[in-house]
């Protein structure tokens, strides 16, 4: 019998959670325990199974957790028969002490695998628009630590070799020792006027880049208050940033945007905002739950199957999902709609229907209750309207006044959800620029939690009924997109270019 591999030393990449390797992510998603460092993105920890144990073994600056303690902990978890992922910032073997851990495992007779990661030495400059090599400019680079430690070169001879050895120099660690490092390099013959850049929190929405010269970079970093983690790069390649800068140039770069949508439908909005550079603070103040009872919906679905309705009107993708869940529970399917016409408010509701084999007969040109009533015109037939338990009156009133007999049924409930203490703290401390609301109930849940004083913050609402709910709660609404969708709201945010 071959012994199982128990421990995977995985590089997490430099910060952007998208920069882990495919192999690394697969292993993370299948582990029993993950031991992680300070610089590992929290979004990556969310990828581990919910039941997996998450063990922080990070070192704060100046507070060194003995490597032997970490080694022993890894061995202990492996011996307990768990699948262990040891998740390390960047690449495990670039100033990562990965080989110490591998040696400890080898000595303990535990099999392991190494999964390399993208090192910050290369990726952080890349996200600042600085290549470590460039033809005709630099054909070599050296990665060194600026930290005061045994790993740092000490003899003047070694400094001379470093100063003249490679065209590009990259320093990791040692923000505090930068001045000393720079001085030694200049003393050893490196050109004081050479361009240099220091990049703080590279590859994250908090990335900051300061450009100076070798002689002035330490002062510039101090004045700007640069803190670890930061990477410094020295060489002519720094000049390329002017043309190659891209990450910090994205339209919403660094803008702190609160997304209040429920977890189950926030993924695409969160991704779209992140892709534009925003620092997304996901505060799902609501969750979608089953209604207290199914009788109303079940009764209406049986009537639907008996052709009792002229129209079925869906105002959200949740209403579609719950309706189809119940149809299946009743032994019915999309054929229950065979003699009714179907209307969908908004493109995501339309998509949810199409995905279930129903091409809606009507999608109002703007996604409001008013426009829906206008498009349906007046009539006296019956309308099936699956809704949240406590829904705003808009749609029903509009349809009733046009003569329709509206059968409203509770199909789901939106209720307050737990959000993490960390996110609560960010919002309470006003650590954001924009808050987005995609439903009136989100406004209610958010203001219940955090109150209505959002001085200096931009309030963005998806459409008029959400905006009305916000105003009723005493908020000043700054932005309502013309197109009442998440995409429309994001586009309006890009146009508005709110200050950070």
> What is the binding site for ligand SAH (CB under 6 A)?
14-15, 39, 89-91, 94-96, 119-121, 124, 172-173, 199, 201-204, 228-231
Which phi and psi (to 5°) does residue 238 adopt? -60, -30
User: Is 88 assigned a catalytic role?
Assistant: no
Nearer to ligand SAH, 39 or 297 (CB): 39
Question: Shortest Cβ distance from residue 274 to ligand SAH (Å)?
Answer: 16
Query: What is the DSSP secondary structure assignment for residue 59, as one 8-state letter?
Result: -
Question: Shortest Cβ distance from residue 231 to ligand SAH (Å)?
Answer: 4
For residues 380 and 405, is the Cβ–Cβ distance under 8 A?
yes
Residue nearest to ligand SAH (CB): 90
Question: Shortest Cβ distance from residue 124 to ligand SAH (Å)?
Answer: 4
> DSSP per residue over 261-308, as a string?
S-GGGTHHHHHHHHHTT-EEEE---EEEE--S-SHHHHHHHHHHHTT-
Q: 107: buried, middle or exposed (CB in 10 Å: 19+, 13-18, 0-12)?
A: exposed
Give the active site residue among 59, 263, 370, 424: 59
CA distances from 417 to 263, 270, 321, 442, 449 (A): 9, 18, 20, 10, 11
Question: Shortest Cβ distance from residue 161 to ligand SAH (Å)?
Answer: 22
Nearer to ligand SAH, 173 or 461 (CB): 173
Give the active site residue among 37, 71, 91, 433: 37
Nearer to ligand SAH, 104 or 170 (CB): 170
Nearer to ligand SAH, 169 or 173 (CB): 173
User: Is 37 assigned a catalytic role?
Assistant: yes
State the first-to-last Cα distance of the chain, in angstroms, to the nearest integer: 59
Question: Shortest Cβ distance from residue 205 to ligand SAH (Å)?
Answer: 11
Q: Residue 164: which residues within 8 A CB-CB, separation 6 or more?
A: 188, 189, 190
Nearer to ligand SAH, 19 or 438 (CB): 19
Active site residues: 37, 59
């Amino acid at each position: 019998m071959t012994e199982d591999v128990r421990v995977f030393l995985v590089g997490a990449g430099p910060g952007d959670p998208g920069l882990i390797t495919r192999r690394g992510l697969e292993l993370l998603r299948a582990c029993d325990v993950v031991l992680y460092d300070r610089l590992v993105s929290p979004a990556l920890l969310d990828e581990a199974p919910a039941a997996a144990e998450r063990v922080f073994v990070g070192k704060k600056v100046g507070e060194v957790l003995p490597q032997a303690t970490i080694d022993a902990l890894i061995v202990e978890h492996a011996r307990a028969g768990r699948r262990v992922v040891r998740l390390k910032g960047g690449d495990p073997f670039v100033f990562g002490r990965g080989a110490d851990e591998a040696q400890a495992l080898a000595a303990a007779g535990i099999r392991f695998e190494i999964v390399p990661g993208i090192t910050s030495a290369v990726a952080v400059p890349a996200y600042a628009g600085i290549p470590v090599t460039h033809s005709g400019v630099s054909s070599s680079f050296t990665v060194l630590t600026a930290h005061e430690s045994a790993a740092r070169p000490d003899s003047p001879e070694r400094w001379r070799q470093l100063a003249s050895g490679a065209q590009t120099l990259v320093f990791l660690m040692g923000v505090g020792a930068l001045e000393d490092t720079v001085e030694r390099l200049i003393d050893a013959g490196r050109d004081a006027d050479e361009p240099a850049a220091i990049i703080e929190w590279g590859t994250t929405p908090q990335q900051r880049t300061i450009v100076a010269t070798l002689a002035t970079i330490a002062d510039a970093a101090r004045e700007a208050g640069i803190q670890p983690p930061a990477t410094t790069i020295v060489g002519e390649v720094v000049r390329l940033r002017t043309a190659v800068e891209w990450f910090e140039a994205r339209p919403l770069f660094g803008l702190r945007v609160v997304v209040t949508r429920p977890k189950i439908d926030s993924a695409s909005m969160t991704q779209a905002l992140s892709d534009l550079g925003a620092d997304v603070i996901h505060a799902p103040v609501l969750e979608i739950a089953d209604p207290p009872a199914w009788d109303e919906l079940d009764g209406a679905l049986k009537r639907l199957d008996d052709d009792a309705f002229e129209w079925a009107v869906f105002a959200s993708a949740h209403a579609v999902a719950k309706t189809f869940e119940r149809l299946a529970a009743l032994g019915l399917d999309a054929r229950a709609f065979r003699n009714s016409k179907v209307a969908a408010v908004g493109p995501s509701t339309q998509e949810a229907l199409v995905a279930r084999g129903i091409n809606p007969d009507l999608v109002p040109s703007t996604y409001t209750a008013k426009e829906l009533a206008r498009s349906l015109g007046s009539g006296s037939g019956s309308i099936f309207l699956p809704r949240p338990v406590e829904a705003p009156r808009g749609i029903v009133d509009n349809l009733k006044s046009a003569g329709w007999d509206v059968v409203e049924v509770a199909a789901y409930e939106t209720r307050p959800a737990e959000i993490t203490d960390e996110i609560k703290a960010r919002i309470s401390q006003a650590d954001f620029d924009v808050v987005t609301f995609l439903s009136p109930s989100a406004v209610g849940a958010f203001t219940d939690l955090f109150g209505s004083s959002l001085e200096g913050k931009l309030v963005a609402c998806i459409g008029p009924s959400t905006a009305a709910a916000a105003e009723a709660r005493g908020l000043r609404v700054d932005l309502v997109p013309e197109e009442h969708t998440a995409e429309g709201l994001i586009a309006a945010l890009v146009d508005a270019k709110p200050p950070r």
